[in-house]
Structure 1
């Protein structure tokens, strides 16, 4: 790396980009501090204590938190149900259905009968919401109510029932609907740029393709990162995906651009992590669904169980040593 005398920075200084997923409005500085601190804790747990201050003080890498949460905010929304548009319901219900299918499969694998009972009950409620006769009789608000009740049932699962982030499934619905809103490629601004394009533009803004880039993306952010990195022309020594819905069949996988789904060209290593209690992850093993890039890179998936409340949270993943360790190792090589 070459020191630039006047600017006090390193010409080859690595870039570290955090890309968030579903959720409510975020404050960039607060999120950057929390993600960096969690990653530093994970790095220490992985045996790289010498990098902790480098991550928290941003001298090991130029660290940025790509915040696009405000683009999902509807200023005129009156409540949770108002935040779910009628046109978003089919994909949202499909997402819930696929989530419960995967959760049921995981519960069956470990013979968790209590969880399976809860999941089966939730899935019955989702199927009821999907029923066209129900939709016609009760209207969109009735469908939203049924879907919200199903999510409330799912929040009774071990590891989730004491979570304070959401008091009811109805509050969680508009958050989950963000996946569908991104993939709908609609909601143009005054210049005609769709919501998805505006999100990718914000994510890529300010990056320097001449310097190595490490990307850590979470949840919907993994979908955003997939599409953004296909347009990025710089080297990406490491891309980490956390709690990713990328392989969710017709709901996500078949809507990705470009297709067929494959590793972005600049990615040199792709590590994918999932938690067994993460209700947003279905089909966690991305390597079964992604073709390699020209360098032969495909995702490598590993479980990172956090055994904590509300596991679909980036900071819980980042503090895990198997997630943070490869980041530290990569930074030391750059």
Structure 2
């Protein structure tokens, strides 16, 4: 690999793209610094201390943070309850149902009866919210409140209950709804482009297909990356997905484009990581749900338990040596 320092030519220099997931509005330069620093810390832990400055200073690759968070904030949210519209509610409730199913499965595998009881309680609240006449009989605000209570119950799980990012499920609901809003492929702008189209354009903007691209995507960003990379014509020596909901049945998997679900053509290696305490991950083993591309590439899934509070953050994953190590190795081999 040829490291280019300062204002030298970019010809042949690798590209490193960070794609964020659900969350509040972000500041690009702050996020780029935090993601790069976490990745550098993970590289050091993986035995690549020589690449720390290259990652933090963007010498090893031209690094960019694809920020589309502002596109989720609407000037007109009429008819919404706590940021959730009646149209968004069914997809959000389906997401919650899949989340609790997977969390319950993981608790059962671990023999964790206490967590199982918490999850069962949350699932009962979600089922009550999804009754056919729930919205008509109770009103939108009542259903959203019940769904919020279910998420608040889930936040009592070990590893989540002391999370400082959200103190209640009602605060978290609009953030979780971003998955459904992207896949609804609506919310057109003045030019008629849907929210999903605008997000993918933001992600792909400025990339150079003549240079190798490493992609690290998180949460909803893995869904965005999946669809964007199917449009991308350049080489992708490494794609890393973190805390991905890609295999979430009818909610995500069956709504992906293109179909059937398949590794994007340019991807040469796909590593997928998940944390047991990550509340957003369901069906973590993506290789069971993805067809290989022409190169024979399918996802390779591994757990990367971070043992931190609120594990559904990209920086927790990036600082893990098993995540950062392959990035460092790929950069050194380009």
TM-score greater than 0.5 by the shorter chain: yes
- CA distance, structure 1, for counterparts of residue 4 and residue 221 of structure 2: 33
Aligned residue for 1:26? 26
Q: Residue 52 in 1 paired to residue 61 in 2?
A: no
- CA distance, structure 2, for counterparts of residue 4 and residue 269 of structure 1: 25
**Change in CA separation of 1:153 and 1:3 when aligned onto 2, cut-off 3 Å:** closer
- CA distance, structure 1, for counterparts of residue 310 and residue 165 of structure 2: 8
- CA distance, structure 1, for counterparts of residue 219 and residue 5 of structure 2: 40
- CA distance, structure 1, for counterparts of residue 314 and residue 255 of structure 2: 24
Task: State the shift of 1:23 in Å.
Answer: 0.2
Task: State the shift of 1:5 in Å.
Answer: 12
Q: Residue 38 in 1 paired to residue 27 in 2?
A: no
> In the alignment, is the contact (CA less than 8 A) between 1:2 and 1:10 conserved in 2?
no
Q: Deviations over 1:130-163 (max 9, x none)?
A: 0123222111111100000000000000011011
Which secondary structure state, in structure 2, belongs to the residue aligned with residue 261 of structure 1? coil
> In the alignment, is the contact (CA less than 8 A) between 2:5 and 2:59 conserved in 1?
no
- CA distance, structure 1, for counterparts of residue 135 and residue 5 of structure 2: 66
> In the alignment, is the contact (CA less than 8 A) between 2:155 and 2:161 conserved in 1?
yes
Bigger drift between 211-220 and 3-12 goes to 3-12
Aligned residue for 2:150? 150
> In the alignment, is the contact (CA less than 8 A) between 1:81 and 1:174 conserved in 2?
no
Task: State the shift of 1:81 in Å.
Answer: 3.2
Aligned residue for 2:327? 327
Aligned residue for 1:63? 63
**Change in CA separation of 1:6 and 1:305 when aligned onto 2, cut-off 3 Å:** closer
Which secondary structure state, in structure 2, belongs to the residue aligned with residue 203 of structure 1? helix
- CA distance, structure 2, for counterparts of residue 283 and residue 125 of structure 1: 22
Aligned residue for 1:222? 222
Which secondary structure state, in structure 1, belongs to the residue aligned with residue 137 of structure 2? helix
Give matches, 1:16-165, under 5 Å. Answer: 16-77=16-77, 81-165=81-165
Task: State the shift of 1:6 in Å.
Answer: 11
> In the alignment, is the contact (CA less than 8 A) between 2:80 and 2:86 conserved in 1?
no
> In the alignment, is the contact (CA less than 8 A) between 1:98 and 1:282 conserved in 2?
yes
TM-score by length of structure 1 reads 0.97
Task: State the shift of 1:82 in Å.
Answer: 3.5
Which secondary structure state, in structure 1, belongs to the residue aligned with residue 230 of structure 2? helix
> In the alignment, is the contact (CA less than 8 A) between 2:43 and 2:52 conserved in 1?
yes
- CA distance, structure 1, for counterparts of residue 276 and residue 144 of structure 2: 27
TM-score by length of structure 2 reads 0.97
Aligned residue for 2:308? 308
> In the alignment, is the contact (CA less than 8 A) between 1:18 and 1:215 conserved in 2?
yes
- CA distance, structure 2, for counterparts of residue 5 and residue 42 of structure 1: 22
Bigger drift between 75-84 and 167-176 goes to 75-84
Structure 2 unaligned regions, length at least 5 = none
Q: Residue 210 in 1 paired to residue 205 in 2?
A: no
Task: State the shift of 1:25 in Å.
Answer: 0.2
- CA distance, structure 2, for counterparts of residue 2 and residue 273 of structure 1: 29
Going by fraction, where is helix more abundant, 1 or 2?
1
> In the alignment, is the contact (CA less than 8 A) between 1:43 and 1:324 conserved in 2?
yes
